[in-house]
Amino acid sequence: MAHHILITGGAGFIGSHLADLLLREGHRVRALDNLSPQVHGPEGRRPAYLAPEVELMLGDVRDPRAVQRALTGVDRVVHLAARVGVAQSMYEIVRYNEVNNVGTATLLEALIQDPVERLVVASSMSVYGEGLYRDGRGQTVVAPERSLEQLKRGEWEVLGGDGEPLRPLPTPESKPPALASVYALTKYDQERTCLMVGRAYGIPTVALRFFNVYGPRQALSNPYTGVLAIFSARLLNGRPPLVNEDGRQRRDFVSVHDVARACRLALLGQAA
């Protein structure tokens, strides 16, 4: 069965790959995107990589009229539109709350009036803060946030209550959130608000916590894009990547193609 799907932020990195996947399966795809200059450049043109079959509607997710127009005839929604970047969120506090929180609230109010069959919202691994750890006694522990004084001393390891270094473990979804940035706070707000409203109004809703996504179409010119794109941009310009702390920290990276497939599964509920 073919669906008519809206992707907010659909002209961006993840959204355009998801659109390709959905189009190949015969679905109709509409993208609501404001073509942010930080991502798409000052010209505000439709990106060349966006499939011509995608119906692109220029508009801001904070604009109720634009959202209502974008939802016309749609039966499923993937909500990707957001401001991204941890560091930038710490000084553009109003902007991040406006786009991420108010934008999501605007979409949800429109969905209350015009419900869809399913909503998928992009959250972030940033909601976990420090990952899960095991102490010297073999107990699983939620690590405390490293203090500024500890970091100033160049002591990078996460320490337990007795001062011993903790051993990192794979972090499950059940780990309590530890929100260490404005960005993390807004992503947690997005996922919880969508799940709450979806439950209240009978809209099946899924929140996906993306880790560091990489792949083609990632904006190398955006200083707040993913770390692999930042490393790539420096290497392409003959400069070494900058690695903070002692270089022994661990990160999970996920291909944008896998993220697109995950979105599709959450949206449609069955394998291709």
Catalytic positions are 183
What are the tokens at 96? 């991040």
CA distance 232 to 240: 9
What are the tokens at 246? 């002692």
DSSP secondary-structure letter at 157? S
The dihedral built from the CA positions of residue 160, 166, 172 and 177, taken in this order, carries a sign that is positive
CA angle 181, 199, 271 (to 5 degrees): 85
CA distance 118 to 269: 10
Find how far residue 271's CA is from the centre of its chain. 22
Compute the residue count for the chain.
272
**Closest among 120, 110, 122, 164 to 139, alpha carbons compared:** 164
CA distance 263 to 122: 9
The dihedral built from the CA positions of residue 223, 228, 231 and 235, taken in this order, carries a sign that is negative
Environment class of residue 254 by beta-carbon count within 10 Å: exposed (0-12), middle (13-18) or buried (19+)?
Answer: middle
How many CB atoms neighbour CB 124 within 10 A? 24
